[in-house]
Amino acid sequence: MESALDWHAARAALEWQIEMGVFEVISEGPVDRFALEVEAKAARESRRRGTGAAASVPVAREPEIDPVAEAEAVARAAGTLDSLQAALSAFDHCELKRGARNLVFSDGVPGSRVMIVGEAPGRDEDQQGKPFVGRAGQLLDRMLAAIGLSRAESVYITNVMPWRPPQNRDPSAEEIAMMLPFLRRHVELAAPEVLVVMGNISCQTMLGKRGITRLRGRWTEALGKPALPMFHPAYLLRTPIAKREAWADLLDLQAKLTGGKAK
Q: Give the length of the chain.
A: 263
**Superfamily for the 67-258 domain:** Uracil-DNA glycosylase-like domain (3.40.470.10)
Q: What is the pLDDT of residues 142-176, one digit of tens each?
A: 999 999 999 999 999 999 999 999 999 999 999 99
Task: Give pLDDT, residue 230.
Answer: 98
3-state secondary structure of 114: strand
- Within the chain, residue ranges assigned H as helices are 7-19, 33-49, 52-56, 67-77, 81-90, 96-99, 123-128, 135-146, 173-190, 200-207, 212-215, 233-238, 243-258
**% of the chain residues with pLDDT over 70:** 80
Is residue 198 within 8 Å of 235, Cβ to Cβ? Answer: no
Q: Which of 37-51, 52-66, 132-146 has the lowest mean pLDDT?
A: 52-66
Is residue 182 within 8 Å of 84, Cβ to Cβ? Answer: yes
pLDDT at 262 over 50: no
- Computed over every residue of the chain, the mean pLDDT equals 88
pTM: 0.76
Task: Give pLDDT, residue 254.
Answer: 97
CA dihedral 197, 199, 201, 203 (to 10 degrees): 40
pLDDT at 52 over 70: no
Task: Give pLDDT, residue 36.
Answer: 67
DSSP secondary structure, 242-259, as one string: GHHHHHHHHHHHHHHHHT
Distances (CA, A) of 144 to 121, 166, 202, 207, 245: 19, 29, 19, 23, 15
pLDDT at 232 over 80: yes
Distance CA 164, CA 114 (A): 24
- Tell me which of 260 and 139 has the higher pLDDT: 139
Q: How confident is the model at residue 125 (pLDDT cuts 50, 70, 90)?
A: very high
3-state secondary structure of 186: helix
Q: What is the pLDDT of residues 80-89, one digit of tens each?
A: 999 999 999 9
At CB < 8 A and 24+ separation, what contacts does 62-69 make?
65/93, 67/93, 67/94, 67/178, 68/177, 68/178, 68/180, 68/181
pLDDT at 33 over 80: no
pLDDT at 57 over 70: no
Is residue 100 within 8 Å of 214, Cβ to Cβ? Answer: no
Q: Which of 4-8, 18-22, 87-91 has the lowest mean pLDDT?
A: 4-8
